[in-house]
Amino acid sequence: MLAVSHIIPAPFAQHVVRAFLESGVDTRFFTTLTPDGRDAAAWLLRRLKLGGTRRLTGIPGTATATLPWWELLRLGIGRLGRNDILNDRVFHWGRDRFDQWVAGHMRPPYSLVYGYETGCLNTFRAARNAGLRTVYDLPSPEHDYVENLLEQENEKFPELRTPARRRFRALQAERTAWRHEEFRLADLVIANSAYTGSTWANAGLDGRKIVSVPYGAPAPDPSGVDGGSSGLGPLRLVWAGTFSVRKGAHYLLDAWRQWKPGPRAQLDVYGTVGLPASIPVRETEGIHFHGPVPHDTVLDALKSADALVFPTLCDGFGMVVNEALSRGLPVVTTGRAGAAELIRAGENGLLIEHGSAAALGEALEWCAAHRAELRAMRPAALATAAAWQWKDYRARLREVVARATACN
């Protein structure tokens, strides 16, 4: 029997559960909160309309165990307003209780546990004591790598530094040590991209345990080839996801203000604004902020846009890239996204230097000046998504885990 543990029922974690269920393995998914349950917490989640992407797909309720109340509390606190320090405290308080709860189940008939970065230290310790095998999943680059990169941004742009960032910096060594111990307790490590895996190996951890299994794309929408603006009206650019420092949002604002496209272009931003209050984001002509929206709304926006702008400084994968490609949308991104491995410059998107407003501005101007060439990339974008679907991810994951556990 196999256990999969993730603090939230994220889509990528659900695909791991489905990978094993599809092969007939008796699998239990340990998570916190979904709107699919029949308990009071699930009812409240539906009532508050906080379900979002937490709905289970292809996973029966009988294969799921939940510890919901602390996560419902965290979501409720988040609705009261943005307080990064409080949210961080509540998250880690709940994480520890979730981890301890899962650890209490680590005994036969379970033979293997599949856990995720920062949420499985006690689980892995208990599993090791009980003779269970352990698989560690890395959705993000190594913690010191990320935190040091963000600190460099704070040094370059002091207005980005917040009390929360100072807190995270003070706790960096402790949180890095937690993750590194999780890694060392794993028999096998799955990274969502070669980029993610390389940051952990370069931190001195055993790279021989790491296997890269890239995330899959949603089912391609053939009508995406005919999407976009067809060269009519302004160039339509879209951003999807948190508008934050880590994603390079401050460089995009700088590039846009220097570019000054006027009526030639518009940018629609779908997602939470995560920049500090010291950065005025809503005063930029041509950029429209829509806030968090349903996932289907994002997919429709991707299909109707001319290009996705994703100037990330650091992303283990960047699933929005796959989502864009599945709608036939060319992608402008940096080599610091794991999904950049999918981008062939000039064929299905553009690759630019990370952390450069000038390089980003040049790419945006190219898109505006070469509407026909940009539109001609749509069939290649769609074909890229079709070539590696979530079913391919699940098949590859099963193969990797089966081979590794058979050899140990």
Q: What is the per-residue pLDDT across 102-136, written as a single tens digit (0 to 9) for each? A: 999 999 999 999 999 999 999 999 999 999 999 99
- What confidence score (pLDDT) does residue 196 get? 98
- What confidence score (pLDDT) does residue 239 get? 98
Q: Is 90 exceeded by the pLDDT of residue 300?
A: yes
- Separation CA 224–CA 197 (nearest Å): 32
Q: What is the per-residue pLDDT across 251-274, written as a single tens digit (0 to 9) for each? A: 999 999 999 999 999 999 999 999
Q: What is the per-residue pLDDT across 64-76, written as a single tens digit (0 to 9) for each? A: 999 998 888 888 8
The string over 228-257, giving b where at least 16 C-beta atoms fall within 10 Å of a residue's C-beta and e elsewhere, is bbeeeebbbbbbbbbbbbbbbbbbbbbbbe
Structure tokens at 222: 């053939």
153 CB contacts (<8 Å, ≥6 apart)? 160, 245, 250, 313, 355
- What confidence score (pLDDT) does residue 408 get? 52
Least confident of 132-146, 152-166, 279-293: 279-293
The pLDDT > 90 percentage for the chain reads 84
192 CB contacts (<8 Å, ≥6 apart)? 12, 137, 138, 139, 212, 213, 214, 215, 316, 317, 338
**Mean pLDDT to the nearest integer, 89-103:** 96
**Mean pLDDT to the nearest integer, 310-321:** 97
- Residue 78: pLDDT band (50, 70, 90) is confident
- What confidence score (pLDDT) does residue 406 get? 73
Give the helix ranges, DSSP H, for 65-120. 69-79, 84-103
Closest to 303 (Cα-Cα) out of 190, 380, 221: 221
Q: What is the per-residue pLDDT across 333-377, written as a single tens digit (0 to 9) for each? A: 999 999 999 999 999 999 999 999 999 999 999 999 999 999 999
CA 198 to chain centroid, in Å, comes to: 17
- What confidence score (pLDDT) does residue 49 get? 72
- Residue 54: pLDDT band (50, 70, 90) is confident
Q: Is 90 exceeded by the pLDDT of residue 231?
A: no
- What confidence score (pLDDT) does residue 77 get? 83
Rounded to the nearest integer, the mean pLDDT of the chain is 94
- What confidence score (pLDDT) does residue 354 get? 97
Closest to 16 (Cα-Cα) out of 72, 49, 56: 56
Give the phi and the psi of residue 134 in degrees, each rounded to 5: -130, 135
- What confidence score (pLDDT) does residue 384 get? 98
- What confidence score (pLDDT) does residue 47 get? 78
- Residue 50: pLDDT band (50, 70, 90) is low
The residue written with tokens 């009390």 in the block is: 163
Structure tokens at 42: 């699930």
Q: Walk across the sheet containing 349-352 and list its strands.
A: 287-291, 265-270, 235-240, 307-310, 331-334, 349-352
The pLDDT > 70 percentage for the chain reads 99
Residues of the chain with CATH 3.40.50.2000: 2-216+390-407, 222-387
Residue 349 CB neighbour total at 10 angstroms: 28
User: Domain 222-387: which topology?
Assistant: Rossmann fold (3.40.50)
Q: Is 70 exceeded by the pLDDT of residue 407?
A: no
Residue 37 CB neighbour total at 10 angstroms: 17
Least confident of 8-22, 26-40, 231-245: 26-40
* Helix or strand (DSSP H, E) at 333: strand 331-334
Q: Is the dihedral of CA 1, 18, 121, 136 positive or negative?
A: positive
Q: Is 2-216+390-407 in CATH node 3.30.565.10?
A: no
* Helix or strand (DSSP H, E) at 363: helix 357-369
- What confidence score (pLDDT) does residue 135 get? 98
- What confidence score (pLDDT) does residue 74 get? 85
Structure tokens at 273: 């604004």
The residue written with tokens 């060269």 in the block is: 231
Structure tokens at 162: 């917040």
Q: Is 70 exceeded by the pLDDT of residue 181?
A: yes
Least confident of 163-167, 281-285, 393-397: 281-285
- Separation CA 323–CA 240 (nearest Å): 10
Q: What is the per-residue pLDDT across 185-195, written as a single tens digit (0 to 9) for each? A: 999 999 999 99
